[in-house]
């Protein structure tokens, strides 16, 4: 016979109650987490946006919080634009929007309805390089290459700005030389960091495309 307490409980009933409690706590984690997982997987509100990217029109339904960089890389698989600092400080994510260079990590994709976006993939192809791409190859204006797409897009945008504007399709016309000092070029390109310190070769490439004597 089990000893009975003053409250009417026996050792058998206490042990049985404890075992039932342990069993409840030990339910499979996946089963208990299922409602949370379902809630996390539920799609949030989306916004329709149309952008012309590298000449092709894209009608998309996107999370209004997604950056232009993440849209390009994660949804359109245009991975040439790099995510470096993700704070607009390194320039690795530079693309051209309507011919003007911007940090794509700092702007929301929904803000560019109807805009023309040009990434490094849209400047040229392996057999038909953009003059700036060809100059970077010629002058060995890269080492690890991580910053190179942003450097090239920024350089193309800079020359367009200095020539008084650039059509949204990004001109290849080099007929109008641009005159600027070494110091001015460094200042205008200061938003693009090369952690390999390949700046002399980068500057040489830009100067050639600009038509500036070495």
pLDDT tens series, the chain, 214 aa? 455 555 555 656 545 555 555 445 445 545 555 555 555 556 689 999 999 999 999 999 999 999 999 999 999 999 999 999 999 999 999 999 999 999 999 999 999 999 999 999 999 998 999 999 999 999 999 999 999 999 999 999 999 988 876 544 455 555 567 888 889 999 999 999 999 999 999 999 999 999 876 5
Q: What pLDDT sits at residue 212?
A: 77
SS3 101: strand
pTM for the model stands at 0.77
Residue spans in the chain of domains classed CATH 3.10.20.30: 47-210
Letter string b/e over residues 162-188, b meaning 16 or more CB atoms within 10 A of that residue's CB = bbeebebebbeeeeeebebeeeebeeb
SS3 192: coil
Which residue in 194, 137, 135 sits closest to 159, CA to CA?
135
Q: What pLDDT sits at residue 162?
A: 86
Q: What pLDDT sits at residue 164?
A: 77
Which residue in 177, 161, 174 sits closest to 99, CA to CA?
161
DSSP label at residue 57: E
In CATH terms, the superfamily for domain 47-210 is Beta-grasp domain (3.10.20.30)
CA 107 to each of CA 58, 71, 100, 111, 147: distance values in angstroms, whole numbers, following the listed order: 18, 11, 13, 7, 19
Written as six digits, the tokens of 75 are: 């949804």
- Residue listed under structure tokens 């390009």: 72
Computed over its alpha carbons, how large is the radius of gyration of the chain?
29
Written as six digits, the tokens of 140 are: 């060995």
Q: What pLDDT sits at residue 168?
A: 41
Q: What pLDDT sits at residue 22?
A: 47
SS3 208: helix
């Amino acid at each position: 016979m089990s000893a009975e307490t003053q409250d009417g409980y026996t050792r058998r009933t206490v042990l049985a109650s404890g075992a039932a409690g342990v069993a409840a706590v030990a339910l499979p984690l996946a089963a208990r987490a299922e409602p949370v997982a379902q809630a996390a997987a539920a799609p949030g509100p989306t916004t329709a946006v149309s952008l012309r990217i590298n000449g092709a029109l894209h009608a998309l339904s996107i999370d209004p919080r997604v950056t232009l960089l993440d849209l390009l890389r994660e949804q359109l698989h245009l991975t040439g634009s790099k995510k470096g600092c993700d704070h607009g400080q390194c320039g690795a994510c530079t693309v051209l929007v309507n011919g003007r260079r911007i940090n794509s990590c700092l702007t929301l994709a929904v803000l560019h309805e109807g805009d023309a976006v040009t990434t490094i993939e849209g400047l040229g192809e392996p057999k038909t390089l953009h003059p700036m791409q060809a100059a970077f190859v010629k002058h060995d204006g890269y080492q690890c290459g991580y910053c190179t797409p942003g450097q090239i897009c920024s350089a193309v945008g800079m020359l367009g700005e200095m020539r008084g504007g650039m059509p949204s399709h990004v001109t290849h016309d080099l007929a109008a030389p641009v005159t600027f000092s070494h110091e001015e070029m460094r200042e205008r390109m200061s938003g693009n960091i090369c952690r390999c310190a390949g700046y002399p070769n980068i500057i040489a490439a830009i100067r050639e495309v600009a038509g500036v004597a070495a």
